[in-house]
Structure 1
């Protein structure tokens, strides 16, 4: 009888002592958590920038206009009031006047970053005719005439410059920015760029390394590939692309010199065949080069075998009147693709920002130096809203003073003046 009582007691106690299984998570709860995660990640990101403290104090970008110069605004109306302000001002300098012509939301993501940092600032969206420097300058002029104090551009146009901050387009840009600040992505071209002195072999073909006159180009996929040659050259160069297996010439371009007579440019664009690789070749086709000439070469839409990260910041970020912003990871390390200086005697890049940036407009976060530039631009807008009488120089100085020095002491060619942030 005693044994039976003990058994009943054990049966009564064991369920109470056994560990409880975790409650089942419903589909609705899982979906809610998935939606909340990006918002929480963004809140943490903004806190790291020092932005949340400013927002709590009521400093949210009021009274400042920010222009986003980009080509990707497809379906931007869907995001008004949902990642973007409830209203934005727009203008297109394309020939067809279509702001949404390109099937991309790249510019929307840039605007989302700006709105997250400076939610009370007014946002302007503007695009321009592809490969038209004059249309680009018209877009910048329109933005500044609308009162934009901050401009953010995360597109690169490598051959619009000599790679050292010079050339006709930079000359046209500088006077438009006397009362504004222009922030540009430093570019994701550190491993797609070559820069150095022309070193011909006996046949005049440039040697990329040792005796190698071929630079293998591997397309990333089906997207169109562009190979751009540019530099402060006075000689006539030929850029040619060959299919590696057959040797077939895919494209050829002779250097064109801009109105300054100082900047040369040659571009080849082509549609790659599936699985094919190509060779990039450069040679001087006029009289023998009488002095040491340097040039840059960048591939858009593919990778190069022989590269140099040094001096890889493209237009517009290489200019003296532009703030170039590179990308670092959460540990403060330069991301391998983030372009580096020096492009000239100018201290480039200017700053770095942490990526990726959590997006509420799509499932995956926004990354690359494209996500870095609008973060710096957003901080500039907050400074200007807080100090409306400040000059562009004073805003830039405030950004430099608050930046966290990550590399060698002072400015360096990977981290610039440091990681952006607001004074705490």
Structure 2
């Protein structure tokens, strides 16, 4: 993803972008691509019955880009948006369309995340300074720790602490199909003073069939302290027929570096290709570690090994922050089963104290309608489509009950969700499928005394 540079000064925010009413060359198709999630999470009911549409709430979106936002606006899918940094691509455009479908009176902002965790923090800061009450992103950083909080998680936590009227919504991630987590287990010898990880029952390799348009992106971390790793691992990709090494990641861990290896391999030929991925441990093998491995760029059907398809504990980064609303995705038809790619919890944290965090928090639909502006996929897949539904409903509810605290609003959303999976919270669905109508009624019942008092004053 690319980042388009630009500066924004306080007090001089760009005006909302909108289309000219005189443009007669483009036909409107208002509501043609409205997300079906609006009905599934019951946000349409409270908007149509009670007029709850997000008025007075500012919602900020952070994604790769919103390059084709003008097309979405000209076809009636979006109204005005403050574009503070345009970026590249149109995932942001699609996310904004979903929020607008649900909370059309909310004031929308967009800032592209940029190319690093530092530019992402700039995006968050800019949206907070613009007065956003809700921020929604669809980002994850594989250079951040999996098994402890990194600087991004710490930053989001500090922003929430400093801004009690802000709710932060993010994705659980789409990493359930190709994830492994397990203890170090000594396997076959690989070379001098080198040993392979035994993933399961003597299997020391992940066997992958690569299609011509696929690539292997593998990221390995383990539970040494970030910045102070004292156990040295490598990633090796080989040809299983000849043993030839195709790609490696062999950073040195010497007590001053991160527990991190990252391998990328692009096949060069026009045909499918079989490859094997191994974890190599250099030096002693006595000290145990928890290893966590993600593979991307490959269809899960091309991976033979069941141990590499464990969705448990595949949430990480700022999605693991306790006060963040972390969203999984369900299919948009009953019985609303979890999407095959939606990451599961709980989250294992090893430093500074070993603990578990109970994520995800809630679910919303995926594979929903968007305009497809900028040739963006329609229907919109992944947890990136689910999260803006939650952001839109939060905007609705906070506009209707502006005096409700952040914590109370979040708890009501969780408490009123349609329970899916195991009773109560579970590591797959969180508290279940978002239900805006039930949330509204629960908030209304809790705030009845205030309404009754107002009515008594008016009648006296």
Q: Determine if the TM-score, normalized by the shorter chain, exceeds 0.5.
A: yes
RMSD (CA atoms): 2.7
Q: Structure 1 residues 315 and 83 mapped into 2: Cα distance closer, same or farther (>3 Å)?
A: farther
Pick one of 365, 379, 391 that aligns with 1:354.
365
Q: Runs of 5+ in structure 2 lacking a partner?
A: 1-28, 190-194, 349-355, 439-460
Query: Any residues of structure 2 matched to 1:110-121 within 5 Å, and which?
Result: 110-121=95-106
- Measure the CA separation in 1 of the matches of 2:109 and 2:365: 24
User: TM-score, normalising length from structure 1?
Assistant: 0.80
Q: Partner residue of 2:91?
A: 106
How far apart in 2 are the matches of 1:219 and 1:73?
32
User: Within the alignment, does 1:343 sit opposite 2:340 as a pair?
Assistant: no
Distance 1:87 1:321 in 2: 30
Deviation at 1:422, TM superposition (A): 0.9
Runs of 4+ that moved beyond 6 A: 256-259
Map of 2:259 onto structure 1: 264
What SS does the aligned partner of 2:45 have? helix
Q: Which has the larger radius of gyration?
A: 1
Contact map agreement 1:110 1:371 (CA 8 A) in 2: yes
- 1:55 maps to what in 2? 47
Does the 8 A contact of 1:60 with 1:119 survive in 2?
A: yes
Secondary structure in 1 aligned to 2:315?
A: coil
CA drift of 1:290 comes to 4.2
Task: Tell me whether 1:232 sits opposite 2:236 in the alignment.
Answer: no
- Equivalent residue for 1:192? 178
Q: 1:315 maps to which residue? A: 317
Aligned counterparts of 1:80 and 1:36: Cα–Cα separation in 2: 10
Q: Paired residue for 2:140?
A: 156
Alpha carbons of structure 1 residues 168 and 385: separation in structure 2 relative to 1, 3 Å: same
Pair 244,74 (structure 1): closer, same or farther in 2 beyond 3 Å:
farther
Distance verdict in 2 for CA 1:51–1:216, change over 3 Å? same
* Contact preservation (8 Å) 2:188, 2:197: no
Q: CA deviation at 1:146?
A: 1.3
Which of 238, 244, 248 is the aligned partner of 1:242?
Answer: 238
Alignment of 1:145-184 (within 5 A): 145-162=129-146, 164=147, 166-178=149-161, 179=163, 180-184=166-170
Give the TM-score normalised by the residue count of structure 2.
0.75
Does 2:59 correspond to 1:66? yes
Q: Secondary structure at the match of 1:160?
A: coil
Asked whether 1:87 is paired with 2:85, we answer no
The alignment partner of 2:273 has SS state of coil
User: Alpha-carbon deviation of 1:257?
Assistant: 7.5
Contact 1:239 1:252 in 2 (8 A): yes
Which residue, out of 48, 71, 74, partners 1:78?
71
Alignment partner, residue 110 of structure 2: 125
CA contact (8 A) 1:218 1:278 kept: yes
- 1:253 corresponds to: 249
Secondary structure in 1 matching 2:180: strand
The answer to which of 413-422 and 218-227 deviates more is 218-227
